[in-house]
Amino acid sequence: MRHENNKEDFHSRVYTNRPAYADLDSPEKFEAILGIIGTHLRWHPNAICSYSGGSDSDIMIDLIETARQLFGLPEVKYCFFNTGLEMQATKDHVKAVAEKYGVEITEYRPKKNIVLATREYGIPFISKIVSSAMETVQKKELPFSIREEYDNAEDKAKIRQELRERYPKSEQGINFLCCCNSAGEHRPNIQLVIDSSPYLYEFMKENPCDFKISAKCCDYCKKQVAHSVQAKYEMIITGERRDEGGMRSVPKAEDANGTMCFYETSNGQFRFKPLYYVSDKDKAWYKERFGIRYSDAYEVYGLERTGCCGCSISSRAVEDLEKIRPYEPNVVKAAWNIFGDSYRYRQKYNKFKQKKQLEAEQIAGQMNITDFPEVLP
């Protein structure tokens, strides 16, 4: 699309491949989604759906079971992956939902639980993107100074190649710190680089991290067990939504074989995300219209999201744990024992960021005043 300034705005496939129903009002949108669910379940009846006990999953299972009744479709297999750190409210809710719809939600546990996984590989910090990149930075011992080397180089492609040769098998970490792609092209505004988090580069350079960072706990506690369980099914249904942001809003290579909400994977399975274009507003409408009751984690504790309990990726993790504490103090204690180093480092980063933002505002204010010398004394 081209504007009057003749500059082109480029958008990811999240927007360019946006289906027509994504922009409908909530009632019409959910009517469309019911039809889409019915169609895909008819085409791919050997389906399994991941149910987490969270609010997205509650909307999704209600839609699936409604579609099944409307179109006379066979049962869907549901699975719940227990990481080893789950609120009792979530576990109780999973049982209650299974009884409500008359379905079986099978619980699966990983071979390596969250305690063992984090001890071996490290703990998340800020996001999965940051955590994965920082794992490479730490393992390959990449110095933060490569950022200055890249920034000061006139030939970006040449210095990028030199860094590749100096630090082999470190592509993700180099791109992350230097805010570029593998060709050396400057890419400061994408999610995959350190500058996507304001002042994070400056903070981590001045305050080196003294604990291992990694997002592998998610791989071992959820993804691996999920892949094992889902391997025999033709279609895998998940409750991912674009509005959640992070990696869930980043197009994947497989999307070329379909759409953002339905595509075929390289192994011949189909991935179906019926809620992908459901907004927070849509969710609120559906909950009110159909009387959906979320788990006590939402309705009693007051959480806005659940996900992996206490996961240090969440910016609200510490705040949420305080909401949980009166009801489940042992879960809170366990979360601090697992993720505490990341919580404290995040709090330190937040203070650093606030200070830098205040300094930037003060400098901008001073510059504005000097632009109008007539108002100066």
Bridge-based pairing of strands 262-264 and 270-272 is antiparallel
pLDDT in tens, 239-276: 999 877 544 444 444 444 446 789 998 889 999 999 99
Q: What is the pLDDT of residue 19?
A: 87
Residue 164 lies in a domain: yes
Element (H, E) at 31: helix 26-43
The verdict on 84 and 149 lying in the same domain is no
Q: What is the pLDDT of residue 56?
A: 96
Return the closest-CA partner of residue 124 out of 209, 251, 228, 227.
209
Last residue of a domain, one of 136, 167, 196: 196
- Give the phi and the psi of residue 237 in degrees, each rounded to 5: -110, 130
The verdict on 23 and 104 lying in the same domain is yes
Which own/partner contact pairs does 73-76 have at CB distance under 8 Å and 24+ positions apart?
73/38, 73/41, 73/42, 73/45, 74/41, 74/45, 75/103, 76/41, 76/47, 76/48, 76/49, 76/103, 76/237
The verdict on 188 and 105 lying in the same domain is no
Last residue of a domain, one of 293, 320, 339: 293
Return the closest-CA partner of residue 309 out of 327, 292, 326, 324.
324
Q: How far is CA 92 from CA 81, 263, 324, 350, in A?
A: 14, 33, 15, 35
Q: What is the pLDDT of residue 280?
A: 94
Residue 208 lies in a domain: no
Return the closest-CA partner of residue 71 out of 102, 36, 46.
36
10: exposed, middle or buried (C-beta count within 10 Å: 0-12, 13-18, 19+)? exposed
The verdict on 231 and 170 lying in the same domain is no
pLDDT in tens, 40-53: 999 999 999 999 99
Residue 61 lies in a domain: yes
The verdict on 149 and 32 lying in the same domain is no
Residue 262 lies in a domain: yes
Number of domains in the chain: 2
The encoded tokens of residue 288 equal 């009110």
As a whole number of angstroms, the distance between CA 175 and CA 133 comes to 9
Instruction: State what percent of residues in the chain have pLDDT above 90.
Output: 76
CATH number for position 27: 3.40.50.620
The verdict on 53 and 18 lying in the same domain is yes
Residue 2 lies in a domain: no
Reported as a pLDDT band with limits 50, 70 and 90, residue 161 is very high
As a whole number of angstroms, the distance between CA 254 and CA 242 comes to 16
The verdict on 140 and 168 lying in the same domain is yes
The verdict on 42 and 182 lying in the same domain is no
Residue 341 lies in a domain: no
- Assess whether pLDDT exceeds 90 at residue 140: yes
Residue 7 lies in a domain: no
Task: Name the 3-class secondary structure at 105.
Answer: strand
The verdict on 26 and 50 lying in the same domain is yes
Last residue of a domain, one of 163, 196, 229: 196
The verdict on 102 and 135 lying in the same domain is no
Q: What is the pLDDT of residue 189?
A: 86
Domain that holds residue 182: 128-196
The verdict on 236 and 276 lying in the same domain is yes
